[in-house]
């Protein structure tokens, strides 16, 4: 199979490329990535020289560029990871989120339409909005109505709706996965876990929003990659699959765990995120029953592996935090 993977220079996309080429060395992957602030070519160094891998620097919104790659490569399938992915940045300025996450997805599906190519959309549990903190019995199922809170989640939900429309109207063979919070190697330092690890290592305060009581359902990135690969191969066309770890944790508990593991780090409570979703929790029964998927990495092991990775890959994140991220960090946390 020849597969176009968009956003492969980012966190989950890169982990997916490593996973896929390891599991299916007979396949060919073409990674399309615009290399925004979140994309890092050095992340892909381990696969760059492989014969069955090609990197194309391009914007998924650029129709001409997309049509060119599709006609050159004649792919069998597309997995769309490319997105603006950080909620806080979407609160600062939604416009690029609408452009990349909505328009970009429709351009890719237009390229798939002519030949009826298989299209998988990597979506998020955030499209369901949030759940109350005091109702542990409530979980997101695939039937939960879409009810978004942030410009980011609204843009992802809009893309999901377009995917369903392309399936119904044009018969495009589409699937959608909605995953909970991922963690693991190569995650950009603006996200909770790498931010806290790197700040602790650099002697900077660990900025917890509000009282740190918001709950997220954490999944090790490789488990997410395995779920996507299964859906691509065996998922039912036109279906949505929730992917989650049954691993709900309060932010404050995650941060305390990181402090404990590293033996350093000073927690500081800062102004809450606007519209901050209270709790995410996924019911993964459908993907378990239909595709036999279950998370394999326990959080206690995954977080240790992740922290070790950041300790061993200082070069990777030091380069990143000295670039555009420095200005972003100052805007977000500078005066706190």
Q: Tokens 């369901």 map to which residue?
A: 128
Q: Which does 9 bind (CB under 5 to 8 A by kind): ligand TDX, ligand NAD, none?
A: ligand NAD
In the block, tokens 């790659």 appear at: 69
**Closer residue to ligand NAD, CB minimum distance, 60 or 195:** 60
Instruction: Output phi, psi for 277, to 5 deg.
Output: -60, 135
From 13, 59, 104, 126, residue interacting with ligand TDX (rule: CB under 6 A): 126
Q: Does 89 bind ligand TDX (CB under 6 A)?
A: no
Please give the Cα distance from 303 to 309 (Å, whole number).
10
Set 125, 190, 222, 248: catalytic member: 125
Tokens 């190569």 appear where?
A: 186
Question: Where does 180-313 have alpha helices with state H?
Answer: 192-201, 221-234, 251-262, 285-291, 299-312
125 assigned to active site:
yes
* Given the residues 16, 128, 152, 328, the one annotated as active site: 152
**222 in active site:** no
> What is the maximum span of the chain, computed from C-alpha positions, in angstroms?
56
Task: Based on the residue annotation, tell me whether 160 is a catalytic residue of this protein.
Answer: no
Q: Which residue is nearest to ligand NAD (CB)?
A: 10
247 interacts with ligand TDX by CB under 6 A:
no
- Integer angstrom CA distances of residue 77 from 58, 74, 128, 261, 330: 18, 9, 27, 41, 40
Q: What are phi and psi of 278, to 5 degrees?
A: -75, -55
Among 251, 282, 291, 293, binds ligand TDX (CB under 6 A): 251
Q: Cα dist. 227→106, 177, 224, 232, 285 in Å?
A: 23, 8, 5, 9, 13
Q: Closer to ligand TDX by CB, 90 or 175: give it.
A: 90
Q: Write each residue from 106 to 125 as x if it is in contact with ligand NAD (CB under 6 A), else as -, in one continuous string.
A: ----------------x-x-
CA separation for the pair 73, 28 (Å, rounded): 10
Name the residue nearer to ligand NAD (CB basis): 36 or 199.
Answer: 36
Instruction: Figure out which of the listed residues 144, 158, 177, 214 binds ligand TDX, where binding follows CB under 6 A.
Output: 214
| Angstrom distance (rounded) from CA 236 to CA 176 | 10
Q: Which of ligand NAD, ligand TDX, none does residue 297 bind to, with CB < 5 to 8 Å depending on kind? A: none
Cβ atoms 21, 53 nearer than 8 A: yes
Contacts (CB under 6 A) with ligand NAD, residues 28-57:
32-36, 38-39
Q: Does 81 bind ligand NAD (CB under 6 A)?
A: yes
Residues lying near ligand TDX in the complex (CB under 6 A): 85-87, 124, 126, 181, 191-192, 195, 207-209, 214, 216, 251, 273
> Which residues are known to be catalytic?
125-126, 152
Residues lying near ligand NAD in the complex (CB under 6 A): 6-7, 9-13, 32-36, 38-39, 59-61, 81-85, 100, 104, 122, 124, 156, 179, 181-182, 188
């Amino acid at each position: 199979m020849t597969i176009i993977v968009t956003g492969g220079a980012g966190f989950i996309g890169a982990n997916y490329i490593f996973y896929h080429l390891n599991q299916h060395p007979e396949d060919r992957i073409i990674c399309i990535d615009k290399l925004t602030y979140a994309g890092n070519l050095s992340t892909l160094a381990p696969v760059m020289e492989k014969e069955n891998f090609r990197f194309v620097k391009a914007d998924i919104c650029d129709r001409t560029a997309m049509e060119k790659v599709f006609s050159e490569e004649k792919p069998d399938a597309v997995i769309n990871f490319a997105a603006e992915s950080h909620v806080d940045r979407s609160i600062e300025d939604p416009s690029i989120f609408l452009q990349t996450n909505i328009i970009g997805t429709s351009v890719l599906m237009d390229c798939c339409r002519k030949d009826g190519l298989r299209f998988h959309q990597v979506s998020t549990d955030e499209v369901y909005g949030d759940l109350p903190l005091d109702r542990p019995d409530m979980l997101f199922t695939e039937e939960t109505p879409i009810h978004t809170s942030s410009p980011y989640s609204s843009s992802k939900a809009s893309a999901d709706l377009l995917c369903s429309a392309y399936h119904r109207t044009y018969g495009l063979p589409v699937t959608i996965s909605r995953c909970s919070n991922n963690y693991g190697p190569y995650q950009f330092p603006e996200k909770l876990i790498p931010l806290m690890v790197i700040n602790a290592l650099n002697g900077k305060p660990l900025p917890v929003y509000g009282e740190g009581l918001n709950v997220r359902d954490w999944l090790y990135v490789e488990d997410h990659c395995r779920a996507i690969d299964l859906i691509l191969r065996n998922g039912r066309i036109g279906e949505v699959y929730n992917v989650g770890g049954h691993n709900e944790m309060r932010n404050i508990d995650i941060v305390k765990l990181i402090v404990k593991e590293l033996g350093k780090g000073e927690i500081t409570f800062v102004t809450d995120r606007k519209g901050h979703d209270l709790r995410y929790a996924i019911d993964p029964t459908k993907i378990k029953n239909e595709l036999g998927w279950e998370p394999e990495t326990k959080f206690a092991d995954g977080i240790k592996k992740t922290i070790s990775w950041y300790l061993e890959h200082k070069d990777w994140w030091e380069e990143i935090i000295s670039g555009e991220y420095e200005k972003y960090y100052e805007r977000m946390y500078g005066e706190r």
